[in-house]
Structure 1
Amino acid sequence: MHTWKRMVHRAVAVLTAASLGTLALVALSSAPAEAVRPPGIPSAATAQTELNALTVRTEQNNNTYDRDLFPHWSSVGGGCTARQYVLGRDGSNVETGSDCQPDSGSWQSDYDNVWTSTVSNATIDHVVALGEAWGSGAWAWTTAQRQAFANDIDSPQLWIATTSVNSSKGADDPAEWMPPNTAVRCDYVKAWTHVKYLYNLTVDSAEKSAIQSHLNTYCGTSGGDPGTGDCTGSSNSARTITEGSTVSSTIALSCSGSASSSSSVTVNITHAYYGDIQVDLRAPDGSVYRVQSSSSNSGNFGSRSYTVNLSSEAASGTWTLQVRDTYSGGSTGTLNGWSLSV
């Protein structure tokens, strides 16, 4: 048996209609393992812009939906299906056999904030359910397009969920169901909006109203207000990132009040394999937030932006970005600079 990263490092090809190589933002906690959310969750400001651009239309052709019209859990490369890939990507201490199927590990179901070490209880939920997508426009797609949608590992479409919470959601939209864990509701509704926007899917009027309400309530937006805070800073002091090492860079902020629930971090790194890079943000009080987890993904890092709920933190103080190259035997890189808006 071997760990997930060493098996598929730089070996996973992407089967998707959209490529968004960012990873979701997570805070380190006292949970039994590190919680990881899907990649590509946008900022509240971006989600608001995307929601405003969606076409409002009553769902169509729901009576012709069949799950088999969306070939799902297809191979995404490295001998892994989309389901196996997500279990490896978003799990902790995952051990797999030669067939890529996880044999052991821990998985967090963010919807209900439950950890499980039982593989069969770690189901994969399509944030925009296949039935919902069908009625929102996927009925007009080709089979290949529906397959790409059902196996999209690069957008925030695939989430780990316990069997019970996945069943409770079914094919409901945010007007009908929201995760019982309120801490994930902002990211959930941003992910929902982003997937609908990526695939040019429609929303019905009740769905759009509910999404707007949830953005306002859980993400701090107000009809277009990004709610990312007005206390900002940046650092352009370059740091060399050597293999297996961690580099740090600080930004000192002086402003009153708490940080925003939709604070943003933008990081510019030169590195040939962004999956090698792990990025943490350390708050003035010492709390650590995982900005990007290492993964098997390849491709240049470049400039990447992330959203994090820092509402429990004071805005003022010294914030520290910690960047680690987790892979030995690969490429070195450079932290060119970063900015923070809290």
Structure 2
Amino acid sequence: MTAALAAALAAGLAGCAPVVDEPEPATSSAGTATKQLGELTVAAAGSMKGYSRNRFPHWRRTGKNCDVRDSVLQKDGKDIQVSGCNVVGGSWESVYDGQVFNDPAQVDIDHVVPLANAWRSGADKWDDSKRGDFANDLTRPQLVAVSARSNRAKGDQDPSKWKPANRSYWCQYATDWVTVKHYWQLTVTSDEKAALTDMLESCT
């Protein structure tokens, strides 16, 4: 049992605390990510025609009155406090910029590979059920609690246009990005692949 899951079960009554899926996010090593990056199809970004965040239904329930957002807050936070099923307190350090928060309302849940980027990379061909699976993926490293400022600065940009201010996180960010795109069989642009290659070369 993971620490996050144990904390969730200890925090409230059975069926009331948000449950984090097991296993923990399947993050690849940098070496594996480099191999996986080479396996991704390189293609120009597709059209945004027909795109809507509503085509990626989220957040799904993960327990009684709980949803995926609660699960990510539990996964990424420390000293978590809950009221019933809702995360009401704790401490979160945004891996993108190092900001620390004690109020969950100040924390955004970022899709590492943004929904609009996924749409342009092949998700436009999926049905809404599969897009919902992508938007709520707790198994891959697709969801992370970060500062609202960094999340909104990132928007739907790929690593050729936006990278975390925290340079020490670049290796992990690139590894996670590739892990997600490889699992979901999404494409990358040539500029995106070049940026990811550079970031993976920074791994030690």
- TM-score, length basis structure 1: 0.54
Contact in 1 for aligned 2:174/2:196 (Cα 8 Å): yes
Equivalent residue number for residue 37 of structure 2: 51
SS at match of 1:59: coil
Aligned-pair distance for 1:77?
Answer: 3.2
Aligned partners of 1:9, 1:169: CA distance in 2, in Å?
37
Q: How many residues align?
A: 195
**Higher RCO (CA-CA < 8 Å; seq separation 6+):** 2
Contact persistence 2:11–2:81 (CA under 8 A): no
Larger-Rg structure:
1
Q: Does 2:107 align with 1:122?
A: yes
Structure 1: how far apart are the matches of 2:48 and 2:90? 38
Take 1:78 and 1:51, find their aligned partners in 2: how far apart are those partners?
38
| Separation in structure 2 between the aligned mates of residue 117 and residue 143 of structure 1, nearest angstrom | 34
Shift of 1:74: 1.0
RMSD: 1.9
Q: 1:112 aligns with which of 80, 84, 97?
A: 97
Letter in 1 for 2:28: P
Aligned to 1:62, which of 24, 28, 48?
48
Moved over 4 A (4+): 8-11
Deviation sequence 1:77-108 (CA, Å, 0-9, x none): 3542100111012111111111x211111111
Distance 1:88 1:195 in 2: 21
Taking the aligned partners of 2:20 and 2:147, their CA distance within structure 1 comes to 27
Distance 1:174 1:9, change over 3 A: farther
* Residues in 2 aligned to 1:96 and 1:115: alpha-carbon distance in whole angstroms: 19
SS at structure 1 position matched to 2:96: coil
Superposition pairs of residues 52-201 of structure 1, within 5 angstroms: 52-98=38-84, 100-201=85-186
What percentage of residue pairs aligned between the two structures are identical?
Answer: 37
Could you tell me which of 42, 45, 58 is aligned with 2:28? 42
Secondary structure of 1:62 counterpart? coil
Q: State the Cα distance separating 1:8 from its structure 2 match.
A: 6.9
- Pairwise CA distance, 1:63: 3.1
Structure 1 residues 45, 52: closer, same or farther in 2, change over 3 A? same
- TM (norm. structure 2) is 0.90
* 1:116 to 1:13, Cα distance in 2 relative to 1, 3 A: closer
Mark the runs of 5 or more structure 1 residues left unpaired by the alignment.
Answer: 23-38, 220-260, 262-342
Aligned to 2:3: none
- Kindly tell me: are residues 140 and 173 of structure 1, through their superposed partners in 2, closer, same or farther at Cα, counting changes over 3 Å? same
* Aligned mates of 2:72, 2:13 — CA distance in 1: 14
- State the Cα distance separating 1:61 from its structure 2 match: 2.3
CA contact (8 A) 1:4 1:95 kept: no
AA in 2 matched with 1:136: S
Shift of the 177–10 alpha-carbon distance from structure 1 to 2, 3 Å rule, reads: farther
Gaps of 5+ in 2: 1-6
3-state DSSP of counterpart to 2:49 = helix
Bigger fraction of residues in helix: 2
